[in-house]
Amino acid sequence: MAQDPPAQDLMRYEAMAQDALRGVVKTALKRAAAPEGLPGAHHFYITFKTDAPGVSGPIDLLGKYPDEMTIVLQHQYWDLAPGETFFSVTLQFGGQPKRLSVPYAAVTRFYDPSVQFLLQFEPPAAEARTPEPDPADETDREPPEGGGDGEAKIVSLDQFRKK
């Protein structure tokens, strides 16, 4: 008896699931952007493809990480603005405030180590682009008060990978 070939997923369920889970990231960032900030010990490691369409930030910063970058939202971040399709945040790098805008579609990993919660996403298709200069980099503005007391860190998540 001949076996029927597997049905083709014309609904694209995997893509729908990825989009739905990116909604979890958006909701978590909206809670972190609330006046109360992050509750308890919660903090986020967000990894994203720097060459994905729509990613913007200072040329010098994105140039150091031409493929992928991880940011930490814990103590020292400002102006977190989660929108419908992307989020923006100001972090300190080398003592200088720098603004990043990241589409949720560019996020490849979202991790909250305080509760061992991890989401991984399929990377978006890469796009050859040149990072735009960030006008905020050319000012001597100080970061707003109250963001925390540490400096933003870029870390390797190798220790969290399944072996």
Q: State pLDDT tens for residues 9-65.
A: 899 999 999 999 999 999 999 999 999 889 999 999 999 999 999 999 999 999 999
pLDDT for residue 123: 79
Q: Which helix H or strand E contains 90, and what residues bound it?
A: strand 86-93
Taking the CB of residue 145, how many other CB atoms lie within 10 A of it? 6
Please check the confidence at residue 115 and state whether its pLDDT lies above 60. yes
Residues of the chain with pLDDT > 70, as a percent, come to 74
What lies within 8 Å, CB to CB, of 113 at 6+ separation is 43, 45, 160
Confidence label for 158 from pLDDT (cuts 50, 70 and 90): low
pLDDT of residue 107: 97
Average pLDDT of the chain to the nearest whole number: 82
Whether residue 91 has pLDDT greater than 70? yes
Is residue 148's pLDDT more than 50?
no
Which candidate, 55, 67, 71, 47, places its Cα nearest to that of 121? 47
Residues with Cβ < 8 Å from 151, sequence gap 6 or more?
A: 76, 92, 95
Using 50, 70 and 90 to split pLDDT, how confident is the model at 7?
confident
Residue that wins the pLDDT comparison between 158 and 97: 97
- Predicted confidence at residue 1, as pLDDT, reads 60
The per-residue b/e assignment along 23-47, b for 16 or more CB within 10 angstroms, e otherwise, is eebbebbeebbeeebbeeebbbbbb
pTM assigned to the model: 0.73
Rounded Cα–Cα distance for residues 120 and 135 (Å): 32
For the chain, domains (ranges, CATH) are 14-32+41-138 (2.30.30.220)
Task: Write down the H helix ranges in 11-158.
Answer: 13-33, 59-64
